[in-house]
């Protein structure tokens, strides 16, 4: 990774500046004026929520050595203007057309000189689990691997909080480079549909891309399922992606294999039970579920084998198959993966099991979409000897259409349903619950308890030792977003406290 570039080297594909401005040295790019420090180069783009050009003066006061700004009709492409600030220094502001779309490439020119192989994982559910399984597995076979996504960025034993599943284009490039400097040979990234549509990973070269599944989510942003699907597909047809690992048990994934020349299909179904596919395929001949975990006998493009992993549920069997196939495509030894599979660990807040003698089991999961809730409940039903409880809510200021859908799923698949709050944000929690109750055939049988801690407490007080309680929606999160503030709250801590597991 170069320590620096001149302004001219940085912007060479789009603009030539043959004077002292072009010779200015750039060592760090920053989109947030509040994070600018002396010597930082501020990048001012017209974003989806705010216009960074409004904060140029703020960046200059923080010590920016130059500004690269998005051009407009008043400030055309190629314009270089000077603005004075403290001590009457004149700082150059360079305007470039369509800068927000070019940002990933711009940042990559400074940061992307490394040997960190990138694995992008997209889909509605499973991104966090698959990226972390990939990183765990690589570490187990002697490679250094990091992750970037919902639970944080970095090596698994030292994750740093991330504001978004996929950070902005500058953050993504600089973080990948920093991880490479720390020794990462691979980095597995969760790629959100927002991140793809907003070009946050546009200039990245992926050694492999993984598609998990597609179900209803983010329609408040994308509008239709078709637009949502095409946003995800962009990882494979609009980005550099050497191998496309596709879950063909999902109908969308099955269709995508006919549109991609580099696809490797993955299925939990044996050849006799799935659609004919001309694509190279890895499939499961047999999957067995027990209290100890999942056993998978597989066959296909990379040969046959048997895996045993200490995870719960059918969707985790799919996650494991996708992770394994990705690593095989990247040349990792199959027998090494088989030998180390029993050492894989459940991912934080993803079907995470908490147990105490004499009490019901509590499973904390991030499921916050209809599909994820359904899969979580179906997975737990296989393991449940008593009654199955479901505690969940729906987020405020988000897709209202999924609220009755999730309640219907809870009523259909669980024996007992408690509707609680998720992140209500600016909406009235009572109105969110009413939207959910509208999806239930017998809403009077649902228990409403807005406080998640109290909801779990009620369930544990009324559940038997053979019961399982699914506490869904927040997973690893340790906060709750209310109308006027964000407060500390953790489902994991609630489970540990109420089961007496905290010292």
| Fold topology of 114-343 | 3.40.1190
pLDDT band at 223 (very low <50, low <70, confident <90, very high): low
Residue span(s) of the chain under CATH 3.40.1390.10 come to 5-100
Annotated binding site for ATP: 123-129
What pLDDT does residue 258 have? 92
What pLDDT does residue 44 have? 97
What pLDDT does residue 222 have? 46
> Could you write out the DSSP letters of every residue in 42-95?
EEE-B-SS-BGGGGHHHHHHTT-SEEEEE--SSS-TT-EEEEE-GGG-EEEEEE
Rounded average pLDDT over 136-158: 96
Give the tens place of pLDDT for each residue, 21-77.
999 999 999 999 999 999 999 999 998 778 999 999 999 999 999 999 999 999 999
Give the closest residue to 365 by CA, choosing from 463, 295, 466, 469: 469
What pLDDT does residue 87 have? 62
Checking if the pLDDT of 361 tops 80, the result is yes
Percent of the chain with pLDDT over 90: 79
Give the tens place of pLDDT for each residue, 432-461.
999 999 999 999 999 999 999 999 999 999
Percent of the chain with pLDDT over 70: 97
| Fold topology of 352-498 | 3.90.190
What pLDDT does residue 1 have? 47
pLDDT band at 216 (very low <50, low <70, confident <90, very high): low
Rounded average pLDDT over 106-113: 91
Class of domain 5-100: alpha beta
Our separate counts of H helices and E strands in the chain read 16, 25
Record the pTM.
0.83
CB 10 within 8 A of CB 103: no
Annotated binding site: 31, 33, 123-129, 164-166, 192, 198, 200, 398, 422-425, 473, 477
Distance CA 441, CA 47 (A): 44
Residue span(s) of the chain under CATH 3.40.1190.10 come to 114-343
Q: Which segments of 141-208 does DSSP mark as H helices, in order?
A: 169-181, 193-197
Q: Which helix (H) or strand (E) holds 100?
A: helix 99-111
Annotated binding site for meso-2,6-diaminopimelate: 398, 422-425, 473, 477
């Amino acid at each position: 990774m170069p320590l620096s570039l001149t302004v001219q080297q940085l912007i060479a594909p789009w603009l030539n500046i043959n004077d002292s401005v072009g010779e200015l040295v750039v060592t760090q790019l920053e989109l947030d004026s509040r994070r600018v420090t002396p010597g930082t180069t501020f990048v001012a783009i017209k974003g989806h929520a705010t216009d960074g050009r409004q904060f140029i003066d703020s960046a200059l006061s923080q010590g920016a050595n130059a500004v690269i700004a998005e051009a407009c009709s008043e400030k055309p492409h190629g314009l270089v203007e000077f603005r004075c600030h403290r001590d009457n220094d004149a700082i150059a502001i360079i305007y470039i057309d369509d800068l927000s779309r070019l940002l990933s490439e711009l940042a990559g020119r400074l940061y992307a000189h490394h040997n960190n192989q990138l694995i992008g994982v997209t889909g509605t559910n499973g991104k966090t689990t698959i990226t972390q399984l990939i990183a765990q597995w690589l570490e187990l076979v002697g490679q250094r691997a990091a992750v970037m996504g919902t639970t944080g960025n970095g090596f698994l034993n030292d994750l740093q909080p991330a504001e978004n599943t996929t950070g902005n284009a500058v953050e993504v490039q600089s973080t990948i480079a920093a991880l490479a400097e720390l020794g990462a040979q691979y980095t597995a990234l969760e790629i959100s549909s927002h991140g793809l549509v907003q070009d946050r990973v546009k200039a990245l070269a992926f050694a492999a891309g993984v598609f998990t599944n597609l179900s209803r989510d983010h329609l408040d942003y994308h509008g239709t399922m078709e637009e949502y699907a095409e946003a995800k597909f962009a990882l494979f047809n609009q980005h550099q992606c050497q191998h496309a690992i596709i879950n063909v048990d999902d109908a969308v994934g099955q269709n995508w294999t006919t549109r991609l020349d580099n696809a490797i299909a993955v299925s939990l179904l044996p050849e006799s039970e799935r659609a004919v596919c001309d694509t190279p395929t890895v499939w499961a001949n047999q999957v067995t579920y027990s209290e100890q975990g999942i056993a998978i006998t597989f066959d296909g493009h990379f040969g046959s084998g048997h895996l045993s992993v200490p995870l719960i549920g059918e969707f985790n069997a799919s996650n494991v198959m996708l992770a394994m196939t990705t690593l095989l495509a990247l040349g990792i030894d199959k027998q090494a993966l088989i030998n180390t599979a029993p050492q894989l660990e459940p991912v934080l807040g993803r079907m995470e099991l908490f147990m105490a003698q004499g009490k019901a089991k509590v499973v904390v999961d991030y499921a916050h979409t209809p599909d994820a809730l359904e899969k979580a409940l179906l997975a737990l039903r296989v393991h449940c000897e008593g009654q199955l409880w479901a505690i969940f809510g729906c987020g405020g200021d988000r897709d209202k259409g999924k609220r009755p859908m999730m309640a219907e799923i809870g009523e259909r698949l669980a024996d007992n349903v408690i509707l609680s709050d998720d992140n209500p944000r600016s909406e009235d929690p009572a109105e969110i619950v009413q939207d959910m109750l509208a999806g239930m055939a017998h809403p009077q049988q649902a228990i409403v308890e807005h406080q998640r801690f109290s909801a779990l407490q009620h369930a544990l007080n009324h559940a038997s030792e053979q019961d399982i309680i699914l506490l869904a929606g927040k997973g690893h999160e340790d906060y709750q977003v209310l109308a006027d503030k964000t407060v500390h709250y953790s489902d994991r801590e609630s489970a540990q406290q109420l089961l007496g597991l905290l010292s």
